[in-house]
Structure 1
């Protein structure tokens, strides 16, 4: 590990770590099963909430057609928002914390173990011991991460919806389509098109900026959870975990950004088709089947992400300790 690992190398090591030890793969499968079952129910609720939100915004922007959810009533928007929020903040966050902590602890045991291969009993015992010893630190750090990630993601999601409906509202359509029909006779007829073009450029730039900020934040938040689980010192949590995460990641920010962008695109790509096909509104049972399929893909991507974060943690830590040792060696001897 003389050079820092690239994104492709991190993902390769994560996949190799998962597939190279059948006991680790089976243990992670068992740990992820409760979260998988709950996510099917949660994603159906989330799809319905997004549907109500889209219909509400479409009426606010005076759409002639409510896109894919014409038969929904916006009167149920607030109850669904409350229900989905409670599901996210209480059972989902708790299950996700337990699953994440277990995956990180188990993958670290295999990644640093000299046993080839490590047995199931030893893997379970050492993983449970790590989780039990770091339960308080992980809980505190997860609360910080939940507060930061939720606030940033809500802003990102609302901005995305407003951007989407702003592009396709009747007002913007009248600006972009109406001036294009007749021949332009003077410069004044181009003004609405230029205004629309500038608006699109500004909104697109803001969207890319927020996406980058969200991905950078995700890289630091994920590393702080890994730090709380794996750091040798006790009670590394909250602000201390976030600070140590930023210290370890110094010089690796671009790589971490690209890695988080990969998983963000993967999560969006798996959810959008199900939203388009109205899985939560299907009465034939296919909606639940499709939702279960993409929830399985999300769980697999989540496992690979945390395995990559473990590999990234050790890579960043080794690089940091090497730089620290070089600085100490470069200091003149004290007289």
Structure 2
């Protein structure tokens, strides 16, 4: 009997590749879902063209500041004063502007897209009959759960973003301060070594934060309670959550790096293509996260059932 229960539980648990396949299948199996999610993503797509232009411009500007070699005679008399002045004036203002754009318009537009996408994807996944386009337009999401979504988003968006911005500012600031010091190479080594573990912690946290948003949309729980439930559901599946978030992280980076190298942020169709692919990846990410959430939830229920039966 125990072997049968263990087999059922193992059968319930999906591997990362299975979660991705099911997410892609849900997204592509209903043409009405594709059309509707594309339409509701248009405001976010338009804003992302501007946001990505600002973001990539800021990245290039920061790299230019950091790549001013202190060994060059033209810069010796200006370091650290000249670079520090640029850092305090240009970089800080650019960071504040990007933080505002990310926290306010971007998050509002993305939350609206996420609510509709997740609600409809859940219907497409659970209902045997085909969901019509008119049915999607009539009731794309539950209005009652909308307020709870914003409470949860404050927890999972505002605080982590502020921490990220502060960490970026600290790293760049200390890179400048220690530039002409014997501790500069040590600082770079420590930063490089710490990058991997910090990225893993961030991506594992992202899988939990995203699940809390899904719980708010699908279950109606919000705020701290949604975070606690997400942590509880994903407790035994952190490695899967990390791999899934890492895949979409690589997707975003692999899109931005060529665009920065080619100077797409200066204008042209390249930035539009980038934002289009980024939006598609973002929509797919939330559908995949929904599959991951349901699997974690079902796995936990299977374990509880097994404990009760035993």
Look up the SS of the partner of 2:12 in the other structure: coil
Residue 237 of structure 1 corresponds to 222
Distance 1:78 1:151 in 2: 13
Gaps of 5+ in 1: 67-72, 176-194, 331-335
Q: Distance in 2 between matches of 1:89 and 1:200?
A: 29
Q: What SS does structure 2 have at the residue aligned with 1:250?
A: coil
SS at match of 1:134: helix
Structure 2 residue runs of 5 or longer lacking an equivalent are 1-7, 76-84
Change (3 A) 1:23 1:3: same
Map 1:3-42 to 2 at 5 A: 3-42=12-51
Query: RMSD of the alignment, in Å?
Result: 2.8
Retained in 2: the 8 A contact 1:156–1:211? no
Residue pair 1:104, 1:226 contacting (<8 A) in 2 also? yes
Aligned: 1:90 with 2:107: no
Q: How far did 1:152 drift?
A: 4.2
1:50 pairs, out of 40, 49, 59, with 59
Change (3 A) 1:8 1:48: same
Residue of structure 1 aligned with 2:128, choices 104, 108, 114: 114
Q: Does 2:226 match 1:215? A: no
Per-residue deviation, residues 50-94 of structure 1 (Å, max 9, x unmatched)? 2333333344x637599xxxxxx9454444333333222221111
- The 3 A distance-change label for structure 1 pair 4 and 126 is farther
Q: CA deviation at 1:211?
A: 0.6
Measure how far apart 1:125 and its partner are: 3.0
TM-score normalized by the length of structure 1: 0.77
CA–CA distance in structure 2, aligned partners of residues 42 and 327 of structure 1: 50
Sort the Cα spacing of 1:140 and 1:230 in 2 relative to 1 into closer, same or farther, 3 A: same
Distance 1:45 1:161 in 2: 18
How many residue pairs get aligned? The number is 287
CA distance in 1, matches of 2:90, 2:180: 25
Tell me how far 1:31 sits from its aligned partner. Answer: 1.1
Partner residue, 1:297: 277
> How far is the alpha carbon of 1:229 from its aligned partner?
0.4
**Alpha-carbon deviation of 1:205?**
2.4
Q: Which moved more, 1:151-160 or 1:43-52?
A: 151-160
Distance in 1 separating the partners of 2:261 and 2:40? 31
Counterparts of 1:158 and 1:304, CA distance in 2: 31
The residue that corresponds to 2:79 in the other structure is none
1:184-224 per-position Cα deviation (integer Å, ceiling 9, x unaligned): xxxxxxxxxxx96x776543321101110110110000000
Residues 15, 304 of structure 1: 8 Å contact kept: yes
For normalisation by structure 2, the TM-score amounts to 0.83
Name the structure 2 match of 1:319.
299
State the partner residue of 2:161: 150
Mapped partners of 2:64, 2:32: distance in 1? 47
For residues 58 and 200 of structure 1, what CA distance do their matches in structure 2 show?
14
CA 1:162–1:301 in 2, change beyond 3 Å: closer, same or farther?
A: farther
Residues 21 and 160 from structure 1, CA distance in 2 versus in 1: closer, same or farther, beyond 3 angstroms?
Answer: farther
Deviations 1:126-149 (A, max 9, x none): 423x2x121011000011111233
CA distance in 1, matches of 2:23, 2:147: 27
1:62 corresponds in structure 2 to: 70
Q: Distance in 1 between matches of 2:247 and 2:170?
A: 21
